[in-house]
Structure 1
């Protein structure tokens, strides 16, 4: 029984030995003839040719293990080289002119690559990146249209690419929405404006949106021209009515003057008649020699004088009634015209106030800033009280628009405008100067106090958080500040603003989220110079 078991074991070992030899021959056939494994491969070839009994199972396993270890080492070095090459290629891609989102996708791939990862994981990461870039390019392609024929392109370089058209479309739509919202406030019951606003708000990105934007802009411009013409006609009619009322009032004044003059003439006529009659009475009285005759004369004379006075009173009463009716009518027309002018003045005041407010942020706009700084400058020249200017700009705002979209950028500007408005004094004035740049006018405020206010605003801005639910992120922002003041040497509004703007640029250059003061023709970072006098 034991001999049978031993015989089976030996046969099993022989078969195993044969299989291992076959496996080693296969490895040798595919292995390179040169390189670090060539010596061991040659030794194995010689051993396989021998039929010596010492070439046992253990020796074959040992040779196999050594060869596999060396193969694994070669594979590792090759994989390391391939991974480094892969990283180098991805790095070259990241140096291209990519959008912010594309740049972030490439950086994510680089951060996830390591030698410990199997090859298929790297391929999956690269595949996802290619899928994203292809999708991004497809979106740009789908949203682009042929704007010139092939012949035009070959004859003259236009300088316009599809991406430019796509961005222009979005900008046009945004402008149409802003104009429509402003018109809707002025004309809340106008259906045409409401329809344009609705259409502009619901235009989807894709093919044809450029022409849809142009169409909406053309319709809005045409209708706005019509509204201006209507307003002009209404204004002309209104001025004509005012002119007519004024002319009528003047004419009525002339009538009253005529009535007064006629009343005066009537009084003179009565006075002359009475004087004449009294003289006649005196002449007649001298010729009467009896009492009875004198009595009759006196009675007749009194009756005559009484008739003259009654006629005068009646005439004066008629004149008075006519005078009173004319004055009442004239007073009513003047009051009506005055009321109309008051209402018009209120509307003009409201329209002027609206024209000085930024539509998005509801703080002052550039026109409002110009009017206010001119007023404050005159007050400064008269009183010589300090007057400071602070210019604020959102850091890396373009990347916010590129990464999260213009709607998020608008929310940031809107929130910042309200934050600035909330944290300044009632005597100060804040306006959106343009884009992501704001300016604050600080009357009766010296340089030190202005820096304190800037620090306070910076702390509040740095604490703001914008939750992006769709991207599951929280966006935080910072701002750079530039400050300047009116002085005897620097008394022009433009010069003071330019100085503050240069200080702002210096704050950007020094790393952003900084406050720089233009002082004595020098730029001073408040973090480097703690005391600003």
Structure 2
């Protein structure tokens, strides 16, 4: 058996590497623009009969290029992951902001909610981001616990009210019984008087001497007087007890009236707050849903024209980004007041959420609603809004739809929203009627 020499093995290895370089060249063609010049150079040298030593410089260049591409790819992946994470963070923050705008926030949590909204709209580090999320969750749980506590408080009040009403009923029943007893005692006294008078009459008729008659008469009169005095004392005591019970019932009824009025006031305040957007002072989405249901029922009954307008602030995010969220809040408050001040008494304007507003216009056809909307749009465009002395180009777009046969609220809203989208697509700062 003849063993191969080191020189022979070296030649075999070189052939293998040579084939490997050719396969790599074929496989890598068109894979990356940075590799193409080196691959073309290697291909040219191979066709001219170059060996591995002749290709060493180009192969080193390929190696460096591959290393550079690998680093660049990793950096692109990291940036993509970072962008994805940032988008996810923005989405979570946006959803929390919308949730806090829609949730019914009790008065005691308004300041905390306002501060949290400002934090939600600010740029955050990873640590601050987690704190904001935790704060939002804690706030929502506190609002939930407060709502449960308020419900328990009302339940306790109603239980106490029931007990006090039962007690008043018992007192009234006892007063009635005392009154009946008084009537019974009066009947007994009348019977006894009749009996004593009858005895006195019999004694008078049977008396033989004046002295005996006087004695019998005196005894009967004494007994009558004693019974009358006893009856009077019993009636006085009973009347005092009845009066005491009546006074007690009167006081309890007054206390209940005071507590009920206090609860009614609290509930009205909370109800009004629940239907009001604290930033703009306009009714909120909950109030809109209630009013829209009422207007829909009225429209179905009388068939008077009814139109819906959806407003949206143009480039609102740009206002927040360029001028800050305080300017954004100021913009929302201004738009809310302008919409409220420039609609009719019969119209209903509300903040639907975010930078969107809605307006219900009873007894108004869509072309009439368009005319009114155009006047409002032009007025807002020329309102001269500024932040810290810097003018801000403030415009609104809107979509309009009139209620049609067999419409439900969602049908009209979807059409108006599509018309709003058309306004945005055609350049913003305009009003559009939905056309099928």
Q: TM-score surpassing 0.5?
A: yes
Is residue 2:426 matched to residue 1:507?
no
Q: Which moved more, 1:217-226 or 1:347-356?
A: 217-226
Q: Note the C-alpha offset of 1:302.
A: 3.2
Is residue 2:387 matched to residue 1:477?
no
Instruction: Give the corresponding residue for 1:288.
Output: 207
Structure number with larger C-alpha Rg: 1
Is residue 2:335 matched to residue 1:413?
no
Aligned with 1:234: secondary structure?
helix
Name the CA distance, whole Å, in 1 between partners of 2:121 and 2:315. Answer: 29
Name the CA distance, whole Å, in 2 between partners of 1:405 and 1:195. Answer: 15
Q: Which moved more, 1:162-171 or 1:312-321?
A: 162-171
Is the CA contact 1:466–1:474 (under 8 Å) kept in the aligned structure 2?
yes
* Equivalent of residue 219 in structure 1, options 131, 138, 156: 138
Name the CA distance, whole Å, in 2 between partners of 1:396 and 1:272. Answer: 97
Q: Structure 2: which 5+ residue stretches go unaligned?
A: 1-74
Is residue 2:108 matched to residue 1:186?
yes
Name the CA distance, whole Å, in 2 between partners of 1:422 and 1:474. Answer: 22
* Equivalent of residue 360 in structure 2, options 424, 441, 446: 441
Is the CA contact 1:176–1:217 (under 8 Å) kept in the aligned structure 2?
no
Aligned with 1:425: secondary structure?
coil
Q: Note the C-alpha offset of 1:163.
A: 1.6
* Equivalent of residue 85 in structure 2, options 155, 162, 173: 162
Name the CA distance, whole Å, in 2 between partners of 1:244 and 1:430. Answer: 45
Q: Structure 1: which 5+ residue stretches go unaligned?
A: 1-140, 142-149, 524-533
Deviation string 1:331-369 (CA, Å, 9 cap, x unpaired) is: 101110111011111111110111111233221111100
Instruction: Give the corresponding residue for 1:450.
Output: 369
Aligned pairs for 1:117-266 within 5 A: 161-168=84-91, 171=94, 182=105, 185-186=107-108, 200=119, 205-266=124-185
Q: Note the C-alpha offset of 1:200.
A: 4.6
Closer, same or farther: CA 291–355 of 1 in aligned 2, 3 Å: same
Closer, same or farther: CA 203–406 of 1 in aligned 2, 3 Å: closer
Instruction: Give the corresponding residue for 2:257.
Output: 338
CA RMSD of aligned residues (A): 3.8
Closer, same or farther: CA 396–473 of 1 in aligned 2, 3 Å: same
Aligned with 1:392: secondary structure?
strand
Q: Please report the TM-score for the alignment, with normalisation by the length of structure 2.
A: 0.70
Deviation string 1:25-60 (CA, Å, 9 cap, x unpaired) is: xxxxxxxxxxxxxxxxxxxxxxxxxxxxxxxxxxxx
Q: Please report the TM-score for the alignment, with normalisation by the length of structure 1.
A: 0.58
Is residue 2:414 matched to residue 1:495?
no
Which structure would you say has the larger RCO, counting Cα contacts within 8 Å and 6 or more residues apart?
A: 2
Aligned with 1:337: secondary structure?
helix
Name the CA distance, whole Å, in 2 between partners of 1:446 and 1:513. Answer: 22
Aligned pairs for 1:511-522 within 5 A: 511-518=427-434, 522=435
Is the CA contact 2:306–2:362 (under 8 Å) kept in the aligned structure 1?
yes
Aligned with 1:267: secondary structure?
helix
Is the CA contact 2:280–2:334 (under 8 Å) kept in the aligned structure 1?
yes
**Count of residues in correspondence between the two structures:** 360
